[in-house]
Amino acid sequence: MTAPVNSSWIESILGGAVPAEGERAVRHGRILLRDGMILRDDALVVRDQAQTRDAFAFKWDKRDTYASDAMRGAMRQWLADRYGDLIGALKAHGGNPIVLDAGCGAGFSGSLLFSEHLNRLRYVGADISCAVDIAAETLGPLAAESLFVQADLVRLPFAPGSFDLVYSEGVMHHTPSTRDAVAALARLVRPGGTFAFYVYAKKSPLREFSDDYVRSLVADLTPQQAWDSLMPLTRLGQALGELNIEIDVPEDVAVLGIPKGRINLQRLFYWHVCKAYYRPDFTLDEMNHINFDWFMPKHCHRQTPDEVKAWCEASGLAIERLKAEEAGITVVARRPEAAA
Ligand SMILES: C[S@@+](CC[C@H](N)C(=O)[O-])C[C@H]1O[C@@H](n2cnc3c(N)ncnc32)[C@H](O)[C@@H]1O
């Protein structure tokens, strides 16, 4: 941690001091162990999330397949397109806004979205997997002050209303209930603060079927076995992509949710049959990483815009921006200031 143990903002959000190295303390009902740079929830995870934890720990350890310039550049642009000027909105929160990156993983998207602004953020990274150790190594030194916790995002040890910004990119659909995760994180947003998140969108019927089917085949494999068993699918996606041909779908195929029009053959397969990612500038391992990321986690819910809108409303948040794409739904929502 770059912040001193007695930093007042950390004490305030935890409701007490960070315990000494190797010591435990109860904070907001959770038993936390101070283990080097990280505060770890003793119970850590409910049993059926151990698979999610291990799948992501494996994934984040494969740094060479998600940290290339091509992948970082593509992600940076996509984040900017979806979230708009999130950092500009943070300026309203004064000098050093407190930001929670909920499900930060290794800090990949957080480092791109917050990039040069990190040095004025009080950054809290939380993840269920030990990928948070990598985030602490890479983002800790860049943030003005920071705190890293290994914990379940529906049981975080923070006071309600602790954060100016809660950011959760591609995480909540991996918990047992996306709705419960939205509610849990929304509680941590202070009045006037922002909740920015991305969850997967519901796809067309064959694609929905193959998502669940392939996931059921790989979910009980070891991460390495799953990685290897997805490679042939990745090669198929690559072969389709390299054909680089388009076809005309002559009319809407309503029974399969396929719209009429011209579409690249690989995209037709990808969106309407089975996820087999392809980008010409990505390596085979990078493409397999994206397929692995999709199929390996046991929980991987897909939502509709109406569901997401209803959950924000139920949590008292006003949606300022909702961008629904084929892949997912990005939301920027605000908790109204408390009435004077
Ligand atoms: C696709 S990754 C996204 C990581 C990061 N948000 C980013 O954009 O780079 C999903 C992350 O969610 C974490 N995760 C899944 N379930 C979680 C939970 N219940 N609590 C906290 N983190 C969770 C995983 O460990 C993983 O690091």
> pLDDT by residue (tens digit) across 132-179?
999 999 999 999 999 999 999 999 999 999 999 999 999 999 999 999
Q: What is the pLDDT of residues 195-249, one digit of tens each?
A: 999 999 999 999 999 999 999 999 899 999 999 999 999 999 999 999 999 999 9
Distance from C-alpha of 262 to C-alpha of 130, rounded to nearest angstrom:
44
Domain-wise residue ranges, the chain: 8-201+302-334, 205-295
Which pLDDT does position 45 carry in this prediction? 43
CA of 131 to the centre of ligand 1 (A): 9
Which pLDDT does position 48 carry in this prediction? 46
Which pLDDT does position 219 carry in this prediction? 84
N-term to C-term CA, the chain: 36
Q: What is the pLDDT of residues 15-62, one digit of tens each?
A: 999 999 999 999 999 999 998 889 999 987 444 455 565 666 666 665
**Cβ neighbours, 10 Å, residue 64:** 11
- Both tokens assigned to 99: 């930001």
Does the CB atom of residue 199 touch ligand 1 within 6 A? no
SS3 of the chain: helix, strand, coil, percent, to 5 = 45, 20, 35
Which pLDDT does position 257 carry in this prediction? 95
- Both tokens assigned to 19: 């315990």
Does the CB atom of residue 103 touch ligand 1 within 6 A? yes
CA of 173 to the centre of ligand 1 (A): 9
Which pLDDT does position 298 carry in this prediction? 87
Q: Of all atoms in ligand 1, which is nearest to the CA of residue 129?
A: 25
Q: Of all atoms in ligand 1, which is nearest to the CA of residue 56?
A: 25
Place of tokens 């397929």: 291
CATH of 8-201+302-334, one of 1.10.10.10, 3.40.50.150, 3.90.330.10, 3.40.50.920: 3.40.50.150
Which pLDDT does position 180 carry in this prediction? 98
User: Are the beta carbons of 334 and 193 closer than 8 angstroms?
Assistant: yes
Which pLDDT does position 37 carry in this prediction? 82
Q: Which of 271, 281, 270, 200 is CA-nearest to residue 234?
A: 270
Which pLDDT does position 116 carry in this prediction? 85
CA of 128 to the centre of ligand 1 (A): 7
Contacts of 55 (CB under 8 A, 6+ apart): 223, 226, 296, 297, 298
Local confidence band at 86 (pLDDT 50, 70, 90 cut-offs): confident
Which pLDDT does position 291 carry in this prediction? 96
| Ligand 1 atom 10: residue of nearest CA | 171
CA of 170 to the centre of ligand 1 (A): 7
Does the CB atom of residue 153 touch ligand 1 within 6 A? yes
Which pLDDT does position 214 carry in this prediction? 98
Does the CB atom of residue 178 touch ligand 1 within 6 A? no
Contacts of 251 (CB under 8 A, 6+ apart): 260
**What's the whole-number average pLDDT of the chain?**
91
Which pLDDT does position 183 carry in this prediction? 98
- Nearest 5°: the CA angle 138, 143, 149 is 65
Strands, DSSP E only, in the chain?
24-27, 30-35, 38-41, 98-102, 122-127, 145-150, 163-169, 189-200, 246-249, 261-264, 318-324, 328-334
Please give the residue that has the higher pLDDT: either 323 or 50: 323
Q: Which residues are bridge partners to 331 per DSSP? A: 197, 322
Which pLDDT does position 60 carry in this prediction? 60
